[in-house]
Chain A
Amino acid sequence: MIEVKSLVKTFDGFKALDGATLKIEKGSVYGLMGPNGAGKTTLLRHITGVYKQDSGEVLVDDAKVWENVNVKSHIASIPDDWFFYGQATVKEMMQLYKGLYPAFSVERYNALKDAFNIDENKNIKYLSKGMQKQVAFWLALSSMPDYMVLDEPVDGLDPVMRRRVWGLMMDDVASRGTTVLVSSHNLRELEDVCDHVGIMNHGKVILERSLLELQDNMVKLQVVFKDGEEPDLSALPILHDSRMGRVHTMIVRMCPESALNAVNKYEPIVSEAIPLTLEEIFIYEMGGLDNEINSILV
């Protein structure tokens, strides 16, 4: 389990993290979202032991991460700009990872050769950016980590490779209980893989829920009432209401069943509950709080 408690980090007077708190259960896939400058990368760098916090705590399996070699040996990290030695081949970087990560599995590395289909004797710097990212995943997955911390991980990968990489990670989650923390701007992609999401803004984690909980707590209703009838729905927790002809479209903060029951009391001609996408949930949940949130909803 990853626990971040009231984390504060200041760079030259700027508070990049201002009391960030989150909790990631073991075996979950946690999506971290937020606008540019929200503090996502800074938070991830604390979780991987790169930065030392000004205050607060970062715990992995109840142990502090900072300068904790034992904890770090179970965390594989893929930053947005992955490092490799200028002259190194894939095989040479594999040797390095093998020496550094005690659980590194050469069998897994060999098994993944087919999945990535990259010549391991090729100098990494001559590979395309997307292929370099594949090498990063190849080595990270071969390290057999308990935790994977990924910062914009699939940027530069083609759709087929994205699906393949996520598939491999989901296999690890299912088979080994690997915990994945992923920071991304791509909500549609996160929706497919995450079971928990957190959203950051101004150095704080302002919302943290399971995807199920979010989807169960908000619903889109499309309702058509009888001619001339305009029932008073102000008692309902409506976040958004629009009307096109006789069709009312409402976003209601209720579970779908309760919402339908509530409108059906007015005997509409048509009433339908439609599940919200992750993108829509965040638009309606957060849009009113902070306009900046909209910038992450692509």
Chain B
Amino acid sequence: MRSTASLFNKTLFSKDIKRLWPIWVVFSIIASLIGFAYSTGIRNNLAYYYNHPINLDARYTYYSIVSSLMPISAMILACIVTASVWGYLYTTRSTVFFHTIPVSRTGLFFTNLATTFVITIIPMLVAWLTFTTATITMGLFDPKGMFVSLLAMIAETLTMVSISTLCAQLTGRLAIFVLLDLSSNLFFAVAEELFSSFSVNFLYGVGSTPGIGLYVLSPVVGLINKLNPTNRESGAVRLEGYPIIVIYAAVALVLIAVAYLAYLSRKSEAATEVVAFKALKPVLLYSYAILGAVFFTWFFYDLTDNYNHQVYDLLKVILLMILFSTVMYFVGRMIIDRSVKVLKPKYLPGYIVMTALLVVFCFVMSKDPLGYVERTPDAEDVSSLYVNSSLGDIYLNEKDLGLIEYATDLQKTIATEGERKLNDELPEDYFNFTYMLKNGTRINREYRLNLYRENMNDKNSIESKVDEFYNLEPVLEKKFHLGGEFTFESATVYVTYYENDQFEKENEKYLTESEGLKLREALLEDLQAGRINRTDIFANGAISSEDDLMITIDLCSLVDTGRKYTRGTDMMLNAVVVDSGLAYGTYTTFPVDKSMTSTYEFLDSLGILQR
């Protein structure tokens, strides 16, 4: 007797490549069109940047493609191809055929894996080739960037294929596979985001922070976050170090190994079952039921909230949680059992425990056992603090230790006093504090409140501390981006004309870099000469009108945190700061009145104050 197959079966491979040609041909055409579209975009942007000299970094242009285009494209394509190649697992008829033919399960697995990978990577390669060709023709040739982005693209595709392949083994239904595969790519990120958003609503002022750990377990989100050269939040990984490529390739190999073992132990009779392995039923049921219960509780609470409270009403949230826990648990049971008859005594303990745990979670969160609400970092531990409020945006770094202490004290005062029920009839102010600690931790606190003039009599009131902080000269300097750490990026002047107190028209002017620098000089003169009025904290950021003219300036600067940073270009050749977290852009909006004579005269010289 002769052996026909071992790890790879050429007949099945070529059969699948041939029969699935519409997938790879259509996606390749789409990929080449995207490449063409990018090249058009690059042409347009080059034309612009030739007039505005900029450091064009081809490498980051190449890296943009593996961060922006690839992860989602590869995820969708891998899902479609895997569903087509492994689709035989989902009907008894086809499962019987494939497990009858003289090809071992090992042979079937690796043949199918190879088929899925090849069909998925063909359009990816076409996209990469088109894009590379386009950028080379634009004079952006960078062999290392090309090579590394090619490697990264292969690793990404392998990762997506491995996830899809594993998901294909875990169910016996096509629709469930698609849901499982797509949610696997996003599950942990969605879960983390959802729990974070839900939980912070129990805690006054505590803002949700972007995911740190679990995002990595959601490959698409992880890739976009970790690879994106323009990402200013989490810190982009420089591909030159190859670690991200190696990590994703290694993860892919581990997932493939798990998928292989799953296929070997998968029973043919699992076809048409919702969950192919009994042991996974509770995992899937409780994961989706808990996530669903939290999501719908959060969603419906938000839908019915009057927004006068910033923290959850515990009773209301618990009632919603019980309702949606019940719905999601039994809907999950119906899906897994493929029957509507799920009100069985044997299912009640699981339901009761799950619901009780969710209720306890709500209760515990509302009690803030870890003291998050009133916790503020020590000023010495703060690397930077960004105070974003209706009174102006202030960026502080570790050199501004005294100001950080002021701001921290203000935040603690707001937190300690607790939530003030918002009064719709009064102006509402907001104060957001974003700390970056020296150990890399990011802390976010967000408050909305009404300020009351009568509280100014109390030196320890929120109002007094806000007034004091926003009228410190160094704070005003920062409010106008006059410190040495600010580099002018852009500014827009809005001039609104009134005729007999009625709005007449608004003009706007975008300032050039040289005009921006002159604006800074004028602002500095006014500040040093004491010609800038005190900030009226009860004006709610409103811009005071000056007779029949109101002037507002939107100013954007790049903040240098004191550490080295480089600039690059993204896929569309927009200027970006690379090595995010080390520098970022910040905005401020402020009014200009006639008492700021230098600034006023400068703006007048631009001719924009004339009707």
- A11's nearest neighbour on chain B, judged by CB, is B269
Q: Is B303 part of the binding interface, using a Cβ–Cβ cutoff of 8 Å?
A: no
Task: Pick the interface stretch among A49-57, A173-181, A225-233.
Answer: A49-57
Whether the pair B4, A73 counts as a contact (CB closer than 8 A) is: yes
Whether the pair B102, A72 counts as a contact (CB closer than 8 A) is: yes
Whether the pair A100, B102 counts as a contact (CB closer than 8 A) is: yes
0 or 1 for each of A58-100: is its CB under 8 Å from B? (1 = yes): 0000000001011111110101011101011000000110111
Partner of A73, one of B10, B15, B102: B102
- B11's nearest neighbour on chain A, judged by CB, is A99
Whether the pair A69, B104 counts as a contact (CB closer than 8 A) is: yes
Q: Is A284 part of the binding interface, using a Cβ–Cβ cutoff of 8 Å?
A: no
Whether the pair A73, B105 counts as a contact (CB closer than 8 A) is: no
Query: Shortest beta-carbon distance, B23 to chain A, in Å?
Result: 13
Query: Shortest beta-carbon distance, A25 to chain B, in Å?
Result: 19
0 or 1 for each of A7-22: is its CB under 8 Å from B? (1 = yes): 0000100000000000
B267 contact set on A, CB distance < 8 A? 51-52
A83 contact set on B, CB distance < 8 A? 93-94, 96-97
B9 contact set on A, CB distance < 8 A? 99-100
Partner of A49, one of B2, B12, B95, B99: B99
Q: Is B364 part of the binding interface, using a Cβ–Cβ cutoff of 8 Å?
A: no
Q: Is B100 part of the binding interface, using a Cβ–Cβ cutoff of 8 Å?
A: yes
How far, in angstroms, from A22 to B330 measured CA to CA in the complex? 45
B10 contact set on A, CB distance < 8 A? 99
Q: Which of B1-40 contact A (CB under 8 A)?
A: 1-5, 9-12, 15, 19
Whether the pair B269, A72 counts as a contact (CB closer than 8 A) is: no
- A74's nearest neighbour on chain B, judged by CB, is B1
How far, in angstroms, from A99 to B103 measured CA to CA in the complex? 11
Q: Is B427 part of the binding interface, using a Cβ–Cβ cutoff of 8 Å?
A: no
B3 contact set on A, CB distance < 8 A? 69-70, 73
A102 contact set on B, CB distance < 8 A? 2, 4, 102
Whether the pair A85, B19 counts as a contact (CB closer than 8 A) is: yes
Query: Which one of A51, A100, A102 has the highest number of Cβ atoms from chain B below 10 Å of its Cβ?
Result: A100
A72 contact set on B, CB distance < 8 A? 100-102
Query: Which one of B10, B97, B102 has the highest number of Cβ atoms from chain A below 10 Å of its Cβ?
Result: B102
Q: Is A45 part of the binding interface, using a Cβ–Cβ cutoff of 8 Å?
A: yes
How far, in angstroms, from A71 to B101 measured CA to CA in the complex? 10
0 or 1 for each of A88-126: is its CB under 8 Å from B? (1 = yes): 100000011011111000000000000000000000000
A99 contact set on B, CB distance < 8 A? 9-12, 15
Partner of B96, one of A69, A74, A79: A79
Query: Which one of B1, B93, B107 has the highest number of Cβ atoms from chain A below 10 Å of its Cβ?
Result: B1
Whether the pair B4, A51 counts as a contact (CB closer than 8 A) is: no
Q: Which of B97-135 contact A (CB under 8 A)?
A: 97, 99-105, 107
Whether the pair B1, A73 counts as a contact (CB closer than 8 A) is: yes
| Chain B interface, >50% SS class | helix
Query: Shortest beta-carbon distance, B384 to chain A, in Å?
Result: 60
Q: Is B268 part of the binding interface, using a Cβ–Cβ cutoff of 8 Å?
A: yes
> In the complex, which range does the number of interface residues on chain A fall in?
20 to 34
Whether the pair B103, A100 counts as a contact (CB closer than 8 A) is: yes
How many A-B contacts are there with CB distance less than 8 Å?
Answer: 83
Query: Shortest beta-carbon distance, B107 to chain A, in Å?
Result: 7
Whether the pair B93, A81 counts as a contact (CB closer than 8 A) is: yes
Tally B residues with Cβ within 8 Å of A.
Answer: 28
Q: Is A48 part of the binding interface, using a Cβ–Cβ cutoff of 8 Å?
A: yes
A71 contact set on B, CB distance < 8 A? 1
Partner of B99, one of A11, A50, A70: A50
A73 contact set on B, CB distance < 8 A? 1-4, 102
Query: Shortest beta-carbon distance, B270 to chain A, in Å?
Result: 11
Whether the pair B105, A67 counts as a contact (CB closer than 8 A) is: yes
- A93's nearest neighbour on chain B, judged by CB, is B15
Contacts A45-B268, A52-B267; A100 near B101 (Cβ below 8 A) = yes
How far, in angstroms, from A48 to B92 measured CA to CA in the complex? 14
- B106's nearest neighbour on chain A, judged by CB, is A67
A49 contact set on B, CB distance < 8 A? 99-100
- B101's nearest neighbour on chain A, judged by CB, is A100
Query: Shortest beta-carbon distance, A211 to chain B, in Å?
Result: 28
Partner of B4, one of A11, A95, A100: A100
Whether the pair B11, A96 counts as a contact (CB closer than 8 A) is: yes
Query: Shortest beta-carbon distance, A43 to chain B, in Å?
Result: 14
Query: Shortest beta-carbon distance, B106 to chain A, in Å?
Result: 8
How far, in angstroms, from A262 to B352 measured CA to CA in the complex? 75
How far, in angstroms, from A133 to B212 measured CA to CA in the complex? 58
How far, in angstroms, from A158 to B242 measured CA to CA in the complex? 66
Query: Shortest beta-carbon distance, B265 to chain A, in Å?
Result: 9
Whether the pair A101, B94 counts as a contact (CB closer than 8 A) is: no
- B278's nearest neighbour on chain A, judged by CB, is A12
Query: Shortest beta-carbon distance, A239 to chain B, in Å?
Result: 39
Whether the pair B93, A48 counts as a contact (CB closer than 8 A) is: no
How far, in angstroms, from A100 to B99 measured CA to CA in the complex? 12
How far, in angstroms, from A69 to B4 measured CA to CA in the complex? 7
Query: Shortest beta-carbon distance, A66 to chain B, in Å?
Result: 10
A101 contact set on B, CB distance < 8 A? 4, 102
Whether the pair A77, B100 counts as a contact (CB closer than 8 A) is: yes
How far, in angstroms, from A261 to B100 measured CA to CA in the complex? 52
Query: Which one of A79, A81, A96, A99 has the highest number of Cβ atoms from chain B below 10 Å of its Cβ?
Result: A99
A98 contact set on B, CB distance < 8 A? 11
Whether the pair A70, B269 counts as a contact (CB closer than 8 A) is: no
How far, in angstroms, from A165 to B104 measured CA to CA in the complex? 30
B11 contact set on A, CB distance < 8 A? 95-96, 98-100
A11 contact set on B, CB distance < 8 A? 269
Query: Which one of A50, A51, A77, A85 has the highest number of Cβ atoms from chain B below 10 Å of its Cβ?
Result: A50
B5 contact set on A, CB distance < 8 A? 69
Query: Shortest beta-carbon distance, B557 to chain A, in Å?
Result: 61
Query: Shortest beta-carbon distance, A101 to chain B, in Å?
Result: 7
Query: Shortest beta-carbon distance, A80 to chain B, in Å?
Result: 9
Q: Which of B239-255 contact A (CB under 8 A)?
A: none
A77 contact set on B, CB distance < 8 A? 100
How far, in angstroms, from A74 to B4 measured CA to CA in the complex? 11
Whether the pair A45, B96 counts as a contact (CB closer than 8 A) is: yes
B269 contact set on A, CB distance < 8 A? 11, 51
- B99's nearest neighbour on chain A, judged by CB, is A50
How far, in angstroms, from A84 to B104 measured CA to CA in the complex? 19
How far, in angstroms, from A72 to B100 measured CA to CA in the complex? 7
Query: Shortest beta-carbon distance, B485 to chain A, in Å?
Result: 65
A69 contact set on B, CB distance < 8 A? 3-5, 102-104, 107
- Per CB-CB distance, the 6 closest pairs between chain A and chain B, nearest first, are A99-B11, A83-B97, A73-B102, A70-B1, A72-B102, A50-B99
Q: Can you give 12 contacting A-B residue pairs, CB < 8 Å?
A: A11-B269, A45-B268, A49-B100, A50-B99, A50-B268, A51-B267, A51-B268, A73-B1, A77-B100, A79-B97, A99-B11, A99-B12
**Extra 20 A-B pairs, beta carbons < 8 Å, given A51-B267, A99-B15:** A48-B99, A49-B99, A69-B103, A69-B104, A72-B101, A73-B1, A73-B102, A82-B93, A82-B97, A83-B93, A85-B15, A98-B11, A99-B12, A100-B11, A100-B102, A100-B103, A101-B4, A102-B2, A102-B4, A102-B102
